[in-house]
Amino acid sequence: MNEQSTTNKVAWEYRAYEFWMKRDGHPKEKAKEILKDPRTSLKKHQTFFENVEGKKIANLCDQMEERQFH
């Protein structure tokens, strides 16, 4: 990764998890909410996913928690 990419990555990730926790709550709780109605979580991307029934949906914020706090 070049220097500019590294700088951008650091800036993007700075306190991002804290922001998501305040906005959405704990990732495990957000995952439960997503499971209730996955299409709603897709927002503007719904048109790219015609049928999500039976598909596994990743909650990437949960992975961030593991890196940041353990």
pLDDT tens track for 3-47: 999 998 888 888 888 888 899 899 888 888 888 887 787 778 778
CA 70 – CA 66 distance, rounded (Å): 6
* pLDDT score for 59: 59
Write the burial class of residue 29 (CB in 10 Å: 0-12 exposed, 13-18 middle, 19+ buried). exposed
Apex 58 CA angle, 28 and 61, nearest 5: 55
